[in-house]
Structure formats: C-alpha cells, structure tokens
A and B are shown apart, each in its own frame.
Chain A
Amino acid sequence: GDSVTQMEGPVTLSEEAFLTINCTYTATGYPSLFWYVQYPGEGLQLLLKATKADDKGSNKGFEATYRKETTSFHLEKGSVQVSDSAVYFCALSDTGNQFYFGTGTSLTVIP
C-alpha cells in the first residue's frame, strides 16, 4: 500500500544553517506530494505541494522537488530562522482521497 518514510528527528540547527529533511514514498499510482508544518500549539497547515514528477513546490523559502526516479520529496531551506521551529510532516495523496503522513520531524532552530 501507499506509505511515506520520513527522516527521524529531532533536528537542531543554528540560525542561518541549511536544512534538509528527507522523505521517500511508496505509491501504486501517481500521487501528489505535500509538506505540512505544525507550529507549537497550532494545527497542521500546508507548507508546499507538488502534483507531478519534476514539479518543485516552494513557500516561505522552503522547497521540495518531486523525484519519481528516486521516489523522494526532500524538504530544503537555505537559511533557517528561529521561527521555523516546528514539526514537519511529509504526506502523499493518491486516488481515493486518502492522505498518508510520515511520522513527522521536529526542528528546533537556536539563535
């Protein structure tokens, strides 16, 4: 069945460091891929998405490229800020309207 495997955390970075959070997926069809973020005390919210191979999703300085050949959708940001501290979830949506989420990666950015 469909699934998402996400890099385990927690991740701690200094401000302005480069961020990569790895995500790979397994799907029977041609899924759409997402990154959701959960800031402390808030609900999950969409960060970015890509709907087909080679698409790049981007938002707030974050980006991720849909790589079909490696079944990956790694999240990157060139220079993280303290305000980026949150839990990040990789997810996929295939036919049938189900979303499959990874286990989440906690990021803490220290000044």
Chain B
Amino acid sequence: GAGVSQSPRYKVAKRGQDVALRCDPISGHVSLFWYQQALGQGPEFLTYFQNEAQLDKSGLPSDRFFAERPEGSVSTLKIQRTQQEDSAVYLCASSATGTTNEKLFFGSGTQLSVL
C-alpha cells in the first residue's frame, strides 16, 4: 500500500471491554512496531515484530496487552479488559528491513478512549 494504515481511527470502549486495533504496514516491510502515545507525550515503545516473529515485547504494560502478526504482514494489537489508563493514541510503524538506524513509516494512529 501507499502508506501504513491503521483502523479504526477512533475507538471508544467501556471499561472492561476488549478492543482490537489493526495495522496494515507498507507492503513488503519486514519490521513492524507498536507505540503508545499519551496526550502531550512522545511515543512509548510497546512491541516489535520482524516478519511474523515478535522479537521484543518488553514495552507491553501488562498481560492485558497482546500483539500478533501471524503472516508477517497485518498486525493486531489486542487489549483485554480495558482500563481508563489505556486511553491513548496507539501508533503503528513499519520499516523496510530490520536495521537499527532505518527510517520508520508511521500510521496516523488509533485514538482509544476508555470510559
């Protein structure tokens, strides 16, 4: 695709609901990242995939957060039993290969509001 696509653009959830956020990276990109951006803050790393392998999930804040990329392309970030502190913009980014200093391409994000 032309860029990284995320859906939905906005999501409102009641506390305790499960949500699933989708990311379509640029076609052929090997690396995929999820970030959480709270209001007025910079993006905070959540997890990283290289193809279908989740190489780093150290940033996931709790076991309620789960991410997958089963076929090495589309990724889903799932949050179970949402809490108010989960309210944030969730950003997905991809890069062409797995090198450290490579440019990231970001999606526009999913803004999650937990009521």
Contacts and interface: CB of A to CB of B under 8 A. Distances in A.
B100 A97 contact: yes
Contacts of A91: 42
Nearest to B41: A103
Interface in A96-111: 96-104
A98 B40 CA distance: 21
Nearest to B43: A101
Contacts, number: 64
A44 B92 CA distance: 10
Given A43-B4, A44-B43, A97 B107 contact: no
A98 B104 contact: no
Contacts of B41: 103-104
Contacts of B65: none
Contacts of B59: 98
Given A93-B101, A104-B40, 17 more contacts: A4-B42, A43-B91, A43-B108, A43-B109, A44-B91, A49-B101, A51-B101, A93-B100, A94-B100, A96-B56, A96-B100, A97-B56, A98-B45, A99-B43, A102-B42, A103-B40, A103-B42
30 contacts: A4-B42, A32-B100, A36-B104, A42-B108, A43-B4, A43-B107, A43-B108, A44-B91, A45-B105, A45-B106, A46-B103, A46-B104, A49-B103, A91-B42, A93-B100, A93-B101, A94-B100, A95-B100, A96-B56, A97-B48, A97-B50, A97-B98, A98-B48, A98-B56, A101-B42, A101-B43, A103-B42, A104-B40, A104-B41, A104-B42
